[in-house]
A and B are shown apart, each in its own frame.
Chain A
Amino acid sequence: MLAFLNIDWQTLADAVALGSIYALMAVGIGLVFGVLRLVNFAYGQLVMAGAFALAMASEWGWPVWASIALCFAVVLVLSLLMDRLVFRPLRGHSPAVMLVATFAVAFLMQSVALLWFGPLGKIATSLAYLNRPWTISTVDIRKITIVSVVVAVLCLLLLHLLLERTEIGLHMRASSMDFETARMLGVRANRVIAVAVLLSGALAAVVAVMLTVQNPLVTPDFALRDTIVVLAGVVVGGMNRPVPATLGGFSIGFASGLLGGALPTNQSQYLDSFIFAAVIIVLLVRPNGLFTTAKTVERV
């Protein structure tokens, strides 16, 4: 079916997996944006920190469960620190100032990693067996591809249940619609923000686990490019609501995975140009988001 585009099943499966991972990152960025109106450019550095935790754990020979626990612990502690030291003092400032501040945090964390681990990085090997293929009726698909999709779907389902079925979820949805009004009606701001930041951190840890399986070499700029692409995807999808943001993240991951496999080798180096040209075109046609209906205006 897709033979004319030069796409095989492996490429298609990888594109879906990349899309799922990007969807999780998109939700992580979108959750914080929802309650704080803050675009966290340093999100990729949380993923990077989690990836280094995994790499160090596998260097020390820790079992898999312990290294994943370490990854979660590191990312969650860093998320809370980021909230306490940077996001909280910045609350209520202009979006431009907040964005440049998270830019500064991102570069700060990246240079700490550079100083600590060196430019060559470390290798995370404890989950490497997931990179081996499963054969499903003559088609070879890497285990991590399937694991990524399943984990992403599970995470999104759990998150959906949390947002729709619990009291804190209701508070979060109310805050992302209108924070001031929600506060007046008794929503506790610090609690909602802390939960959003923690959830976003937990998603970053999940993403760190899956990205290190796909790409075991962890360097200080790990996940930096992914964050830029996901940010573009989130804005293309529609920043204000979780579902459009998720779809935006998924679409851009899926599109870059598919295009990366479909482009002939002499053009594949221009993948970024194609993706970002598409981003610009979509933004020009639908500046409020590809998957949104309501009109909202945000000033940066």
Chain B
Amino acid sequence: MKRFADLQVLAGPAVLVVVAALLGTTVSVSTQGYFTDALVKVAIVVALYVFVGNSGVLSFGHISFVAVGAWTAGVLSVPASEKPAIMPNLAHFLRDRTTGNLSSLALAALVGGVCALIVALPLMRLSGLAAGIATFAVLEITHNLLRYEEKIGPGLNTFSSVPETTGLRQAALGALFVVVVAFAYSRSRFGRLLRATREDDAAARAVGASVYRQRLIAFTISGALCGLAGGLYVHLLPLNTETVYLDLTFITLAMLVVGGATSLWGAVVGALAVSAIDSGLAVAENGTSFLGWHIDLPAGTRVIVVGALMATVLILRPSGLTGGREVKLWPR
């Protein structure tokens, strides 16, 4: 019975992802893009949850690993014939190598994880505001380096010519994979120890949990998942450094907090709910008819409504839509 209750925690988010993907197959190709984008956002937010949710420490730096993953997968999968045109100053070992879709995603996860580990080794000694600002500093440094370092990517240019392999199916499978890893981690010994440090630092230390080591493990796993999500993202649409910077940091953190940062269920619900409103408004900005009403909002209302909505949810329900609890389909 315990096993069954555990499985609900996985089944809830997984079913939600599958339902979103299935809904995506019923709409037109242009609308389908919104569903694919939402599923990639689910992957990013769940990756963020692995660290932020389980540790209770806010990180502004995770989009760095999304960016690094996107750069890895992007640089490696642009066809060799097109590389000189987009990235004329690329380093030799990157210029001559091209990989397929799956291996580029795996490498994106690997590079994201390694970068996260390198960052975490010194940074996880910090806590509180110092940790928050230090992760922000990581985001700034990554953004600055990717923007101007043309040996490892397109620099200021947009990543064009990356094969657009992230359709609805790949996005859904990617999001499912991230959900399963996040579930496995949070049920593991490490996840439980990290949550213990979140709830009561002193008590967790007293039973022998090392806060530093547990945060390090979570940060690395979460960085690898962010890298994978970045790989999915770059295969979805042509990115540049501004796509994976402050706006994405804001929207993903807001999704996590709006859903309920301390549960996997909250991460998935938050990502899908905010995406749904955001895309709905984006459609309305382009002009659409809804139940016989013609709606045509001025461009820019989308961000305003989403921002206001998030502030409202945070004020009225600070623990998020789900209250930070896992899903219970059959309460006992």
Q: Quick check: which of B25-33, B122-130, B213-221, B227-235 contacts chain A, the rest being far away?
A: B122-130
A165 close to chain B: CB less than 8 A: no
B interface residues, how many (CB within 8 angstroms): 46
- Measured between beta carbons, the chain A residues less than 8 angstroms from B253 are 100, 103
Interface centre among A104, A107, A270, A283 (most CB of B within 10 A): A104
B129 touches A298 (CB 8 A): yes
Q: In the bound complex, what is the Cα–Cα distance between A279 and B130 (angstroms)?
A: 10
Overall SS of chain B's interface: helix
B308 close to chain A: CB less than 8 A: yes
Q: How large is the interface on A (under 10, 10 to 19, 20 to 34, 35 or more residues)?
A: 35 or more
- Measured between beta carbons, the chain B residues less than 8 angstroms from A99 are 58, 132
With A103-B253, A299-B128 in contact, is A283–B300 under 8 Å at CB?
A: no
A115 touches B58 (CB 8 A): no
A17 close to chain B: CB less than 8 A: no
B250 touches A299 (CB 8 A): no
- Measured between beta carbons, the chain A residues less than 8 angstroms from B250 are 103-104, 107
Interface residues of B in 38-86 (CB under 8 A from A): 56-58
Closest beta carbon of chain A to B286's beta carbon, Å: 16
A39 touches B136 (CB 8 A): no
With A108-B304, A270-B144 in contact, is A97–B130 under 8 Å at CB?
A: no
Q: In the bound complex, what is the Cα–Cα distance between A282 and B34 (angstroms)?
A: 42
A276 touches B140 (CB 8 A): yes
B137 touches A232 (CB 8 A): yes
B137 touches A86 (CB 8 A): no
B129 touches A273 (CB 8 A): no
Interface centre among A100, A105, A297 (most CB of B within 10 A): A100
B311 touches A105 (CB 8 A): yes
Q: Which 9 A-B pairs have the closest CB atoms?
A: A108-B307, A111-B303, A276-B137, A115-B300, A272-B144, A298-B128, A235-B133, A101-B314, A104-B310
**Interface residues of B, Cβ cutoff 8 Å to A:** 56-58, 122-123, 125-134, 136-138, 140-141, 143-145, 147-148, 246-247, 250, 253-254, 257, 261, 298-301, 303-304, 307-308, 310-311, 314-316, 318
